[in-house]
Amino acid sequence: MSTITANAAVATKTIRRGPIIAALLIGAFVALLNQTLMNVALPKMMEDLNIVANTAQWLTTGFMLVNGVLVPISAYLVVKFTTRQLFITAMVLFSIGTLICGVGPGFETIMVGRVIQAVGAGILMPLMNIVFLQIFPIEERGKAMGLMAVAMIFAPAVGPTLSGWVVQNYSWRVLFFIVLPLAIFSTLLGMKTMRNVGTITSPKLDKPGIIFSTLGFGGLLYGFSDAGTDGWGSTTVIACLILGVVSLVVFVVRELTTKTPLLEFRIFRYNMYSLTTVINIIVTMALYSGMILLPIYLQTIRGFTPMESGLMLLPGAILMGIMSPITGIIFDKIGARWLAVIGLVITTVTTWEFSQITDSTTYTHLIITYTARMFGMSMLMMPIVTAGLNQLPQRLSSHGTAMSNTLRTVGGALGMALFVSLMTNRTKSNITDAVMSGAVSQTDKAAMLKLTQEATINGITHAFTVATWITVIALVLSLFIKKTSPQPDFLKTEETKPQQANV
């Protein structure tokens, strides 16, 4: 066994990492940029395509659903197919989907394009994680994950600014034609430079696992997403959440008992991986609170344009992109604990600051606070993930990555739904109380407009207050992070015990 590992290590060293990293980073940047370009463009697309908000939301929710459902299958795909095959397939699918979205005449065609895009992105993102873990030795993984964070953090933050500028000056279709050349370039670069890393085997595909994970994660993601618009009491939301929870329980039981699990739940026996996964979910939820609530505040309450709203997020995005590789290098030297603690202290303070905003908070104050918040986030997101994955044996790194990505997707959807519903419920409650008490007359339009604005600000600050306390939980948990190295593969030892006993 040690000889095989040694041979794999030698083979990895001979691979030219630069071109592989470049192809993967460009591909990931494009996939994530594409995801966030849509949010600002949706109102204009609704107008042009003559569709209502609930229908338009499917262009983002549908993408997230397909993406979330595909991630668990990634651990199977990376040992069944070569890195080259998977990367080229993912990028070709993504490019075809982007072209369909750009030229699609109506909502249905564009929706098909979004689904094809999501299949490509759903393969690509976990693949990048796994390749980085395989081609970098453990002492350089922080630097590697820092590089990866440039794409994973910079793209979602640049998206709204770019989208706002394009939608204000050109057709929303231009957004897809900005993404398409980059996707084609990444595909061609991958065709020329991509090499296989890891070992190809012929694993058995857990088909019932795919069905239950699709129903489970799909039900939860759709339920959380729909709760943001229809509310938690909606029949559809309740039905989806029940279906999701029941399917996930069946899925977990099956994965713990089958010989070839789709997702290896027993990796949660590794204590540091479990701890960092919980912190990662909380941090993702906190990140989404700012990304979704601030544009609502800026555009709905303060009357800023989509472009101005996007520009507010830009300095934070640039700082995060610069800091991520630096954070990775620091992580390689000192580990994740103090980076995470300092990052979470900054994140907690700045999130609390957002819970104090009023209708006269200055644009400059918002930019400084948001930029400081992103600085804090840049210190903790990748180090936390890497610290957990570093504890896993190489054989389980694909399972660890698939699990981490799946739970982060669910955490993001839950965060968006939770904070939007907290905001809307508090807003409705404030308006109802004011009208019922007779403080404001419904016939007085000016007073009702002022009340609605004040109630919405109160709803947003309430959501940020909850986000602050959620971040405090992550801060306390981060104090228990320890520096790790790959532990013995006791899952494999367990699998061979009965056979050894028979012999």
Is residue 9 in a domain? no
Q: From CA 132, how far away is CA 141, in angstroms rounded?
A: 8
Residues 476 and 340 in one domain: yes
In three state form, how does the secondary structure of 259-306 look?
CCCCCCHHHHHCHHHHHHHHHHHHHHHHHHHHHHHHHHHHHHHCCCCH
Q: At 48, list the tokens.
A: 């042009």
pLDDT at 6: 38
pLDDT at 421: 76
Residues 216 and 181 in one domain: no
Residues 381 and 483 in one domain: yes
Q: H-helix or E-strand containing 421? A: helix 397-436
User: Under a CB-based contact definition with an 8 Å cutoff, are residues 288 and 377 in contact?
Assistant: no
Residues 61 and 192 in one domain: yes
Q: From CA 176, how far away is CA 259, in angstroms rounded?
A: 43
pLDDT at 99: 93
User: Under a CB-based contact definition with an 8 Å cutoff, are residues 359 and 302 in contact?
Assistant: yes
**In the chain, what is the straight-line distance between the N-terminal and C-terminal CA atoms, in Å?**
19
Q: From CA 38, how far away is CA 61, in angstroms rounded?
A: 11
Is residue 503 in a domain? no
Is residue 351 in a domain? yes
Residues 168 and 39 in one domain: yes
User: Under a CB-based contact definition with an 8 Å cutoff, are residues 104 and 116 in contact?
Assistant: no
Neighbours of 495 (CB within 10 A): 11
Residues 193 and 216 in one domain: no
Question: Where a domain ends, among 199, 223, 239?
Answer: 199
Question: Where a domain ends, among 199, 229, 245?
Answer: 199
Is residue 494 in a domain? no
Q: Which domain holds residue 398?
A: 264-488
Residues 364 and 441 in one domain: yes
Q: From CA 348, how far away is CA 452, in angstroms rounded?
A: 28
Tokens 């979205």 belong to which residue? Answer: 101
pLDDT in tens, the chain (503 residues): 333 333 344 344 556 777 778 888 888 888 888 877 776 777 777 778 887 666 776 777 777 778 777 777 877 787 788 878 888 999 999 999 999 988 888 888 989 999 899 889 888 877 887 787 777 777 776 777 777 777 676 776 677 777 778 877 888 888 889 889 989 988 888 888 777 776 677 777 778 888 888 888 788 877 876 776 677 778 888 999 999 999 989 988 988 888 878 778 888 888 888 898 899 888 888 877 777 778 778 877 787 877 777 778 778 877 877 787 788 778 877 777 888 899 999 999 999 999 888 888 888 898 899 889 888 888 887 788 888 888 888 777 777 877 887 787 777 777 777 787 788 778 888 888 877 777 667 677 777 778 788 888 888 888 899 999 999 999 999 888 887 766 766 666 555 554 443 33
Is residue 358 in a domain? yes
Residues 372 and 444 in one domain: yes
Q: From CA 7, how far away is CA 156, in angstroms rounded?
A: 38
List, in order, residues 6 or more apart from 85 with CB less than 8 Å away. Answer: none
Question: Where a domain ends, among 157, 180, 199?
Answer: 199
What is each CA distance from 496 to 188, 259, 270, 491, 502, in whole angstroms?
43, 12, 19, 9, 10
Under DSSP, the state recorded for 139 is G
Nearest-10 Cα torsion for 140, 145, 148, 149: -140
Per-position DSSP letters for 441-492, written without gaps between them: -TT-HHHHHHHHHHHHHHHHHHHHHHHHHHHHHHHHHHTT-----PPP-HHH
In three state form, how does the secondary structure of 59-114 look?
HHHHHHHHHHHHHHHHHHHHHHCCHHHHHHHHHHHHHHHHHHHHHCCCHHHHHHHH
Neighbours of 264 (CB within 10 A): 20
Q: From CA 487, how far away is CA 258, in angstroms rounded?
A: 23
Is residue 99 in a domain? yes
pLDDT at 221: 76
Domain count, the chain: 3
Residues 329 and 467 in one domain: yes
Is residue 327 in a domain? yes
User: Under a CB-based contact definition with an 8 Å cutoff, are residues 222 and 240 in contact?
Assistant: yes
Residues 171 and 251 in one domain: no
User: Under a CB-based contact definition with an 8 Å cutoff, are residues 24 and 15 in contact?
Assistant: no
Residue 298's Cβ-side half-sphere holds a number of Cα atoms within 13 Å equal to 26
Residue 463's Cβ-side half-sphere holds a number of Cα atoms within 13 Å equal to 32
Residues 471 and 335 in one domain: yes
What is the domain-level CATH number for residue 457? 1.20.1250.20
User: Under a CB-based contact definition with an 8 Å cutoff, are residues 383 and 324 in contact?
Assistant: no
Tokens 């061979």 belong to which residue? Answer: 496
pLDDT at 304: 80
Q: From CA 432, how far away is CA 4, in angstroms rounded?
A: 68
Residue 93's Cβ-side half-sphere holds a number of Cα atoms within 13 Å equal to 19
pLDDT at 2: 35
List, in order, residues 6 or more apart from 238 with CB less than 8 Å away. Answer: 223, 232
Residues 318 and 186 in one domain: no
Q: From CA 483, how far away is CA 332, in angstroms rounded?
A: 10
Is residue 1 in a domain? no
User: Under a CB-based contact definition with an 8 Å cutoff, are residues 365 and 140 in contact?
Assistant: no
